[in-house]
Amino acid sequence: MDINTAATGAFDQVTSSPLRLAVIVGSNREGRFAPVIRDWFLARAEGFGGFEVDVVDVAEADLPTALSFRPDEQVKAELAKVTHKLAGADAFVVLTPEYNHSYPAGLKSLIDWHGSEWHAKPIGFVSYGGLSGGLRSVEHLRQVFAELHAVTLRDTVSFHGPWGQFGEDGQHLDPEDSDTAAKAMLDKLTWWAHALRDAKSVRPFAA
């Protein structure tokens, strides 16, 4: 087998394997609404198909805001809960609320403890909050992820005042618009995830 044939075989294997999606739950606040948004989105992702989904919840990884190139054993144990999921992902969807016109500190800490795990991967957003629907958080996160060589999607899902949009059972009371927005985002995320993964299989990304 020559080099070109081997490369083609490896490329075909990459393109045919399922995409791995890491859904990042960005809030660790007491009494958070995040689980409702998480469950809603996971149901949409499952219904859309084509992804193997992992959940990365900042509330389940106690990462300090003080970064270190030599983390102690406790921090290494916390990183072990999440780093492999980020590294193995082909794409991300970040679920973020808006706190004081921006995103949560716990989410920034998760981002900052990692580097190459974000490189050349697409990121979609599901935001929620008050009047802005969390979109100010998203705009701030775009700048952060641009520095990390990630590709953020134009299409987003946002919930303005979500506390009145979901019933006690966690189901959306009027789902048509949000379901349409989620499908549009997942369509674009799928395209970018395949395109970037395929490109990296031919030419490794160098930051």
DSSP 81-96: HHHHHHHH-SEEEEEE
Residue 4 lies in a domain: no
Residue 136 lies in a domain: yes
Residue 5 lies in a domain: no
Over residues 14-73, the pLDDT tens digits come to 556 899 999 999 999 999 999 999 999 999 999 999 999 999 999 999 899 899 999 999
Residue-level pLDDT at 9:
53
Angle at which helices 135-147 and 105-112 cross, to 10°: 10
Residue 77 lies in a domain: yes
Total count of domains within the chain: 1
Identify the domain containing residue 45 by its residue range.
Answer: 19-64+72-202
Residue-level pLDDT at 207:
84
Residue 185 lies in a domain: yes
Per-residue pLDDT of the chain (207 residues; tens, 9 = 90+): 555 554 555 445 555 689 999 999 999 999 999 999 999 999 999 999 999 999 999 999 989 989 999 999 999 999 999 999 999 999 999 999 999 999 999 999 999 999 999 999 999 999 999 999 999 999 999 999 999 999 999 999 999 989 999 998 888 988 899 999 999 999 999 999 999 999 999 999 998
Q: What is the CATH number of the domain that holds 162?
A: 3.40.50.360
DSSP letter, residue 5: H
3-state helix, strand, coil in the chain (%, to 5): 50, 20, 30
Residue 3 lies in a domain: no
